[in-house]
């Protein structure tokens, strides 16, 4: 595994988490996602970044990122990758409340990633 490639992927994931956090900062509750077209656009944008995070994690796994996953087993890597699959393949079943509730996890992962 190339450490440079792994670092590059981690930086991309961190940037996506920052975008998600910024977009969440404009939302006070999950009902805003469905209250207007603007809210729906925010939901779509957050979902797209969650997909990007999951895809980045899958790439990390494929190049040997399991070492990182084992070193930081407190992070629910598989759930983040599964979220990508759900959002990509079952998009019309996305529950805005579930997406809103990921906010806490995004913030936690972002804080850890910055360390």
pLDDT at 54: 94
C-alpha span between 37 and 10 (Å, rounded): 32
C-alpha span between 8 and 24 (Å, rounded): 24
Reduced 3-state DSSP string for the chain: CCHHHHHHHHHHHHHHHHHHHHHHCCCCCCCHHHHCHHHHHHHHHHHHHHHHHHHHHHHHHHCCCHHHHHHCCCCCHHHHHHHHHHHHHCHHHCCHHHHHHCHHHHHHHHHHHHC
Tokens standing for residue 62: 């494929």
pLDDT < 50 positions in the chain = none
pLDDT at 65: 76
Q: Do the beta carbons of residue 65 and residue 6 sit within 8 Å?
A: yes
Q: Do the beta carbons of residue 56 and residue 9 sit within 8 Å?
A: yes
Quickly tell me which residue has 């529950």 as its tokens.
95
Ordered by start, the domain boundaries in the chain are: 1-113
pLDDT at 115: 65
């Amino acid at each position: 595994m190339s450490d440079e490639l792994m670092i590059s992927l981690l930086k991309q994931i961190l940037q996506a988490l920052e975008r998600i956090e910024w977009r969440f900062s404009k939302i006070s509750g999950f009902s805003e996602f469905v209250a207007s077209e603007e809210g729906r656009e925010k939901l779509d944008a957050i979902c797209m970044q969650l997909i990007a995070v999951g895809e980045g994690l899958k790439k990390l796994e494929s190049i040997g990122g399991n070492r990182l996953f084992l070193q930081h087993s407190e992070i629910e890597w598989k759930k983040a990758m599964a979220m990508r699959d759900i959002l990509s393949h079952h998009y019309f079943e996305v529950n805005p409340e579930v997406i809103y509730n990921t906010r806490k996890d995004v913030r936690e992962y972002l804080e850890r990633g910055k360390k």
